[in-house]
Amino acid sequence: MADFRVIGAHDSSYKIAASDLQLRYPGFTLDIEGFGIKTGEQLALLGPSGSGKSTLLMCMAGLEPADSGSVLLDGEPLTRSSAQRSIATVFQTPYLFKGTVGYNVSYGLRMRKRPATEIKARVAEVLQLVGLSNWEKRSILGLSGGEAQRVALARGLVLQPDIMMLDEPLSSLDEALRKTLSVEFSEILRDQKVTVLYVTHSKQEAFTVADSIAIMKDGQLLIHERSKNLFAEIDSVNAPHQQDWLRSFLAPDDWWLHMEEKR
Amino acid sequence: MNLSGLQLFTDAFAQGFALLSAGTLDLWQIIWTSLQVSGTATLIAVVIGIPAGYWLGSRRNVRRFTALVIANAGMGLPPIVAGLFVSMLLSRRGVFGDMGLLYTRNAIVIVQVVIATPVVVALTASGISAVPAQLRLQARSLGASRLQEILLAVREARLSILGAVAGGFGAVISEVGAVQMVGGNLAGSTQVMTTAIMQYTRMGRFGTAIALSVILLSLIILVNVIITYEQLRDERYTKALK
Query: Cβ separation of B242 and A142 shorter than 8 Å?
Result: yes
Q: Which residues of A touch B (CB under 8 A)?
A: 61, 63, 80, 83-85, 87-89, 91, 93, 95, 97-98, 107-108, 111-112, 138-139, 141-143, 155-156, 159
Tell me if chain A has a CB within 8 Å of the CB of B144.
Answer: yes
Helix and strand numbers, DSSP H then E, in chain B: 11, 0
Query: Cβ separation of B143 and A159 shorter than 8 Å?
Result: yes
Query: Cβ separation of A108 and B143 shorter than 8 Å?
Result: yes
Question: Which chain A residue has its CA at the smallest distance from B149's CA?
Answer: A111
**C-alpha to C-alpha distance for A88 and A153, rounded to whole angstroms:** 9
Tell me if chain A has a CB within 8 Å of the CB of B147.
Answer: no
- pLDDT, one tens digit per residue, over B36-57 is 999 999 999 999 999 999 988 8
Question: Which chain B residue has its CA at the smallest distance from A62's CA?
Answer: B141
For residue B87, give the nearest of B65, B110, B69, B64 by alpha carbon. B110
Total Cβ atoms within 10 A of residue B94: 16
| Mean pLDDT, range B160-166, rounded to an integer | 91
**C-alpha to C-alpha distance for A62 and A216, rounded to whole angstroms:** 20
- What are the angstrom distances between the C-alpha of B44 and each of A60, B49, B153? 43, 8, 22
Query: Cβ separation of B148 and A111 shorter than 8 Å?
Result: yes
Nearest to B138 among A87, A91, A159 (CB): A91
| Mean pLDDT, range B131-154, rounded to an integer | 91
**What does the DSSP assignment read for A71-138?**
EEETTEE--HHHHHHHEEEE-SS--PPSSBHHHHHHHHHHHTT--HHHHHHHHHHHHHHTT-TT-TTS
Question: Which chain A residue has its CA at the smallest distance from B144's CA?
Answer: A111
**C-alpha to C-alpha distance for B25 and B206, rounded to whole angstroms:** 18
pLDDT at A7 over 50: no
Phi, psi angles (nearest 5°) of residue B21: -75, -25
ipTM of the complex: 0.81
β-strand pairing of A28-38 with A14-25: antiparallel
- pLDDT, one tens digit per residue, over A120-153 is 999 999 999 999 999 999 988 889 889 999 999 9
What residues in A contact B141, CB-CB < 8 Å? 61, 63, 83-84, 87-89
* pTM of the predicted structure, to 2 decimals: 0.79
What residues in A contact B142, CB-CB < 8 Å? 84, 88, 107-108, 111, 155-156, 159
pLDDT at B114 over 80: yes
- pLDDT, one tens digit per residue, over B165-189 is 999 999 999 999 999 999 999 988 9
Query: Cβ separation of A98 and B132 shorter than 8 Å?
Result: no
Q: Under 8 Å CB-to-CB from B58, ≥6 apart: which residues?
A: B128, B129, B153
Query: Cβ separation of A139 and B241 shorter than 8 Å?
Result: yes
